[in-house]
Every structure is written in C-alpha cells, then in structure tokens.
Amino acid sequence: AQSVTQLDSHVSVSEGTPVLLRCNYSSSYSPSLFWYVQHPNKGLQLLLKYTSAATLVKGINGFEAEFKKSETSFHLTKPSAHMSDAAEYFCVVSVDSSASKIIFGSGTRLSIRP
C-alpha cells in the first residue's frame, strides 16, 4: 500500500536561509509524487510533480525536489527563504500509476523569521 510521511510538522527558518522540508514515501511501484502549498485560508496550489522522468524536479517560486528511490524520499528545498513562503506544505503520493487517486501527507507548516 502507498503511504507518505512528512517528518516535521513545523519548520522555522530565517529569511534568506535555505529551506528543507522532508518527505518519505512507501509504494509498491514507482509512484508519482507531488508537493502542494496551502497559504492561510486558501486552496492548494501545485508546486511541482515527479512522474518518473528527471529525478530533480524544479517547481514554482524557486522550489525544487529530488526523488531518491534508494532512500524513498522526496524532500523539498529552496536555496533562500522569502517571507511569502510561509504556508503549509503537503507531500503527496499517487495510489495508482495514473495518479487518479492521491494520498496527502500530514503537512509541514513553514514559518519564516525576519
């Protein structure tokens, strides 16, 4: 069965410093993986997706993630945090090969200190 674990419920970084949000997955096949962001009182927006092409995926707003099969990880990074990055981030794994059905991680709240 497929599952996804976000290792940190809350991450706090200073503006201008790197961001690392950790995600591990479990899957019986090569999954599709996504990162979504949710700003306060807003819907969810796709940051990036991995679909078995390049293992390093670049997304919007300077975020990127690397698929590491040996570590079953899909961590989200950004070189330099901005105040506008403060939000909830969700790692998502597909249940089937076409990603018709997806499972959300529990979320990581990212805070940015001035």
Chain positions contacting another protein, by CB under 8 A: 32, 34, 36, 42-46, 49, 51, 90, 94, 98-107
Closer to another protein by Cβ: residue 101 or 114: 101
Shortest reach from residue 24's CB to another protein, in Å: 16
Closer to another protein by Cβ: residue 5 or 15: 5
Q: Is the CB of residue 2 less than 8 Å from the CB of residue 31?
A: yes
Q: Is the CB of residue 65 less than 8 Å from the CB of residue 57?
A: yes
Shortest reach from residue 66's CB to another protein, in Å: 18
Burial group, residue 44, by CB count within 10 angstroms (0-12, 13-18, 19+)? middle
Closer to another protein by Cβ: residue 25 or 36: 36
How distant is the alpha carbon of residue 32 from its chain centre?
Answer: 12
CA distances from 14 to 28, 36, 72, 85, 102 (A): 38, 22, 28, 11, 32
Closer to another protein by Cβ: residue 35 or 81: 35
